[in-house]
Amino acid sequence: MKLSLYLTTPGSRFWAAQSPLAMPEAIALAARLGYDGVEVMPRDAGDPDPAELRALTARQGIEVMAIATGYIAVEHGLTFSDPDPLVRRRATDAVRSCVDAARLAEAPVVSVGVVRGKLRGDVTREEALSWLAACLCDCGHHAAAQGVRLAVEPVNRYEAGLVHTVEEALDLVESVGLPSVGIQVDTFHMNIEERSPAEAVLRAGPHLAHVHFADSNRRAPGWGHVDFGPIASALREAGYAGAVGLEIDLDPDVESAARAGLEFARRILEGS
Of 119-138, binders to ligand LER (CB under 6 A) are none
Interface mask (CB under 6 A) for ligand LER, residues 177-206, using x and -?
---------x--------------------
Residue closest to ligand LER (Cβ): 113
Q: How far is the CB of 157 from ligand LER (least distance, A)?
A: 11
Burial class (CB in 10 A: 0-12, 13-18, 19+), 251: middle
Within 8 A by CB and 6+ apart from 253, the residues are none
Which of ligand LER, Mn ion, none interacts with 159 (beta carbon under 5 to 8 A by kind)? ligand LER
- State phi, psi for 81 to the nearest 5 degrees: -115, 20
C-alpha to C-alpha distance for 100 and 95, rounded to whole angstroms: 9
Please report whether residue 215 would count as binding ligand LER according to CB under 6 A.
no
Q: How far is the CB of 48 from ligand LER (least distance, A)?
A: 17
Question: Residue numbers of the site for Mn ion (CB under 5 A)?
Answer: 186, 212, 247
Q: How far is the CB of 113 from ligand LER (least distance, A)?
A: 2
Give how far Cα 99 sits from Cα of 38, 47, 96, 129, 133, Å. 16, 14, 5, 22, 17
The amino acid present at 193, given as its one-letter code, is: E
C-alpha to C-alpha distance for 130 and 229, rounded to whole angstroms: 36
C-alpha to C-alpha distance for 64 and 52, rounded to whole angstroms: 11
Residue length, the chain? 272
In a 13 Å sphere around the CA of 267, the CA atoms on its Cβ side amount to 10
* Strands (DSSP E) found in the chain: 2-8, 37-41, 63-68, 109-112, 149-152, 181-186, 208-213, 243-246
Which of Mn ion, ligand LER, none interacts with 201 (beta carbon under 5 to 8 A by kind)? none
Which of Mn ion, ligand LER, none interacts with 72 (beta carbon under 5 to 8 A by kind)? none
Stretch that binds ligand LER, among 24-32, 49-57, 106-114, 144-152 (CB under 6 A): 106-114
The amino acid present at 254, given as its one-letter code, is: V
Of 223-262, binders to ligand LER (CB under 6 A) are 247
Stretch that binds ligand LER, among 110-118, 122-130, 196-204, 229-237 (CB under 6 A): 110-118
Helix, strand or coil, per DSSP, at residue 262: helix
In a 13 Å sphere around the CA of 84, the CA atoms on its Cβ side amount to 7
Which residue's CB is nearer to Mn ion, number 55 or number 148?
148
Which residue's CB is nearer to ligand LER, number 44 or number 270?
44
Stretch that binds ligand LER, among 48-56, 153-161, 196-204, 230-238 (CB under 6 A): 153-161
Helix, strand or coil, per DSSP, at residue 12: coil
30 close to 258: Cβ distance less than 8 angstroms: yes
Which of ligand LER, Mn ion, none interacts with 70 (beta carbon under 5 to 8 A by kind)? ligand LER
Please report whether residue 70 would count as binding ligand LER according to CB under 6 A.
yes
Which of Mn ion, ligand LER, none interacts with 108 (beta carbon under 5 to 8 A by kind)? none
Name which position in 36, 153, 193, 249 contacts ligand LER (CB under 6 A). 153
Site of interaction with ligand LER (CB under 6 A) = 16, 68, 70, 111, 113-114, 153, 155, 159, 186, 212, 247
